Chain A
Amino acid sequence: MKKEQTPQQPHEMYEGGSKVVYTVNADGKYELSSTTGWEPETIVLSQALEEIDRLSQQALLKVQQGHSSPLEYHMYAQRMDLQMLAAAVGKFQWQVKRHFKPSNFVKLSQKQVTTYAEVLGITDTQLRTIPND
């Protein structure tokens, strides 16, 4: 990539940040150039965030209808999936899945709730509830 071709297409997602890439200058020498963003990258980052949003809204609906526990909603809202959450708390996926059942979730010990809350980076109270709209 030539230095003058370094893309400068900022997006609000980057909060004004930039990063460096290696580019070739006019003398054919490699040097660092700062880039504020590149459209293909912003397209795919928004896509990933939209997908997370879609999954957590879906889960939220299920929780409101009483088909799932807040754990499933917070898992997606905190950008995890079943595989990651299970690995993070050191359980099998089927064990975590069991806690998606509302009747099982309310029976969880305080210790287990804290473990889940910690790996998700939220408080115990947040984990037990869902945001009301």
Chain B
Amino acid sequence: MTKEFIHVPSAHCETGAVSNLLRSYGLEISEPMIFGLGSGLTFAYLKQIKINGLPLIAYRMPPKMIIKLLSWRISGLKFKYETFRSEEQGMLALDSMLANDKAVGLQTSVFFLPYFPQAMRFHFNAHNLVAYAKEGDEYKISDPVFPDLVTTKEDDLQRARFSKGALAPKGLMYYPSEVPKSIDYDHVIPKSIRFLGKMNGRWNPVPISGVHGIRLLAKNILKLEKADQHYAQLFMGHIVRMQEEIGTGGAGFRFIYAAFLQESANILDSSFLHERSSELTNIGDEWRDFAVLCARLSKNRKGQNYSDAAKQLYKIADMELEFYQRLSKFKK
């Protein structure tokens, strides 16, 4: 009964899950395209939200936002979201979808998924995966950040879907209820690109996000020179983890977006977008250099200081500002 599920490994869990899910519903759309049309790229430094006592540093839009923007922009694409009060009902609803040969996206906690390496299992509640079949008490899973298909036992999946705490998934299950036959790229690509430029660039009113957010982080790194040594080292390590660990595609999503710009350049035959794509690739490489600096500081190797890292970050902020300003004026 089970048809073969085409699993394409991806860099980011949310966009990857949606890409694999839509393919199984008959719409071919790549991961970078979803990330781009959902205007996912940003930066945010949220001092108030603490993870293990360290501020949240995000390189993309909050979970679910990308899918919402995507279905808002693409006409004819609608997603249905379901959360459950009762765990049993949540599992039954999943089973009935799978029995009809319909794959669904699920929000889960990484901590309760046994196929993850022990070292990577943290209490992160917003991991997305696709369930596409059930055999006995085992679910067949297409986990976007794994190279191959995986399976998981019913108990584990139930626990992962109903984990508690910040961003608790509450069994969230989602699937497309309406899928368009094709997408009007000429219309949606320029729109999403301009939106992204405005959201992150000079006219962004939110002082903790976009380029402003990057400068704010740089300022806070400079303050670390006088802070407690242990805390400062943890802080630097934390930045790299937020930027590179699981599912950012390298350089905190900069490379995914550059891939989107390239794909769009080919669709719209635009040399402007080809240039922007390589510009962002350069910015991404600067982010990787920044990660190397941070990792060294987190180990407290001699000859490193915090002002080097901050300087690198100010440089990135200037480069990104120019980049976003150009995007915000993009016309096809």
Asked whether B123 lies within 8 Å of A1 as measured between CB atoms, the reply is no
> Taking each of B53, B165, B277, which has the highest tally of chain A beta carbons within 10 Å of its own beta carbon?
B165
Interface size on A, residues (CB 8 A): 39
Known: A1-B285, A20-B249, A121-B159. A88 touches B164 (CB 8 A): yes
Q: Mark B1-31, 1 if CB is under 8 A from A, else 0.
A: 0000000011100000000000000000000
- Note all chain A residues with C-beta closer than 8 A to B11: 19-22, 32
**Which one of B145, B237, B246, B281 lies within 8 Å of A44 (CB-CB)?**
B237
Asked whether B241 lies within 8 Å of A23 as measured between CB atoms, the reply is no
- Note all chain B residues with C-beta closer than 8 A to A80: 123
Asked whether A15 lies within 8 Å of B9 as measured between CB atoms, the reply is no
Asked whether B119 lies within 8 Å of A22 as measured between CB atoms, the reply is no
- How many interface residues does chain B have, given as a range? 35 or more
State the Cβ distance, A120 to closest chain B Cβ, in Å: 10
- Note all chain A residues with C-beta closer than 8 A to B112: 121
**Which one of B10, B147, B165, B246 lies within 8 Å of A119 (CB-CB)?**
B165
- Note all chain B residues with C-beta closer than 8 A to A30: 32, 255, 258-259, 262-263, 277
**A4 to B205 CA separation, bound complex (whole angstroms):** 40
Asked whether B164 lies within 8 Å of A119 as measured between CB atoms, the reply is yes
State the Cβ distance, B309 to closest chain A Cβ, in Å: 12
Q: Which of B120-171 contact A (CB under 8 A)?
A: 120-123, 145-147, 159, 163-166
**A66 to B273 CA separation, bound complex (whole angstroms):** 64
Known: A22-B255, A43-B298. A79 touches B245 (CB 8 A): no
Does B292 interact with chain A (Cβ within 8 Å)? yes
Main secondary structure of the interface of B (DSSP, over half): helix
Q: In the complex, what residue of chain B is closest to A39 when comparing beta carbons? A: B295
**A84 to B167 CA separation, bound complex (whole angstroms):** 11
19 A-B interface contacts by CB (under 8 A): A1-B255, A1-B281, A1-B284, A15-B118, A15-B119, A19-B9, A19-B145, A21-B250, A24-B281, A32-B11, A41-B244, A43-B299, A44-B240, A44-B294, A49-B119, A51-B234, A87-B165, A88-B165, A121-B159
Known: A30-B262, A41-B245, A87-B164. 17 other contacts (CB 8 A): A15-B118, A20-B9, A20-B10, A22-B11, A22-B256, A23-B255, A39-B295, A40-B240, A43-B240, A43-B299, A44-B240, A45-B120, A45-B241, A47-B233, A88-B163, A119-B163, A119-B164
